[in-house]
Structure 1
Amino acid sequence: MGRKYDEILGVHNFRFACKEFDENRKVSEDDIKLILEVGRLSPSSFGFEPWKFLVVENEYLKEKMFSVAWGVQRQMPSLSHLIIVLARKKTDMIYNSKYIKYMMEEIQHIPKDMINPRLDRYKNFLEEDFQLLDDERSIFDWACKQTYIALGNMMTAAAELGIDSCPIEGFHREKLEALLEKQEMLDREHFGVSYMVAFGYRKEDPSRQKTRKPFNEVVEWIK
């Protein structure tokens, strides 16, 4: 298929959910900033960027997380960087919020005469198309789904740099959010935890090859 195809597939075959990192190797500041920048540049529905990235360097917080985040216990002693990704809640993502107004006016620089039509389209999307306003959880889950776009992009960028990663959902969300709130790292009115992701360098290569279903079992061509 060509050299470029091989390079792309090579990056994705290199990436795996690393369970134990080399504690003697740390990701450089430039590399982790690049990975975070890739996350920041990721696409989101309506371009509203419903995320925030917390880079956890505080050792006290890491220690406290052990009891509420079982999915990172194995990696914690050896990982280089741990990122907690937050998703915005209904308070911010509803069509008439201060956050949406801020995004349209100050970030996207939408002309004033176009703001109300765009808000009407967004309101209809929330109420009718996806029916996300029935409860608090629906719109938060929708925001969480978008943060996973950033996750995929960050892990791919890391793999391109030869850096390993592990996406983590192994935590008690309520307890983790309470811990972050107590440490004044989370405003629970506006944000909730979507996932965590660890970065570093593998201690050893995976013991088995990547397993996936066959291409033709996953892909269906509609003609």
Structure 2
Amino acid sequence: MSGDTGDMGLRERKKQRMYQAISEAAIGLFLEKGFDKVSVAEVAAAAEISKPTLFRYFPTKEDLVLHRFADHEDEAARVVAGRGEGVTPLAALRAHFLDGLERRDPVTGLNDHPAVLAFHRLLYGTPSLVARAYGYQERSEKILAGALGEGAGARLAAGQIVAVQRILAMENWRRIAEGESADEVWRDAVDAAELGFRQLESGLGALGYFEGQ
């Protein structure tokens, strides 16, 4: 039994490495030539695999880029599920977002590394990628709603939380894209995050949604 488990773990690690290798090869080409000027065949050739193999890993060309967000789809839900006793979901998510700002996590938009800026320009400058990103956002909302509870209340709360975090990240990225450094934006980013989560707490708390959680 333990041998089967080890084999499954090895296969999963190899699969994840393949995902990573294909995605990085694709992003390199997209950054060099532009998303719309690179064919799937070119990506397959760069990754040294066939087109059918590539499509087994990535159903669409856009997924080659958005794979970088795959690990973040359930991040908010994991934060809620792993919070300490007596800590509300919003308090846990607020602390996690503020920690991300402190660490300059690219997901918060507060990162001025040239490679991160180039990736964000690729993402937000390509309409088909922006449209596809909404699918990832919807899945993130659905997973978070499951962690918050059941019913319309959980779905509405998850939607508002994910929207606030997206808006905060986009504003941080916009300012950095216009030439400010992450250090220059940081203080305002923290203040905006504090305001955003206070508004969430006020709105959702007024509905009694997080009482007793």
Q: TM-score range by the shorter chain?
A: under 0.3
Normalised TM-score (structure 2) = 0.27
Which of structures 1 and 2 has the larger relative contact order (alpha carbons within 8 angstroms, sep 6+)?
Answer: 1
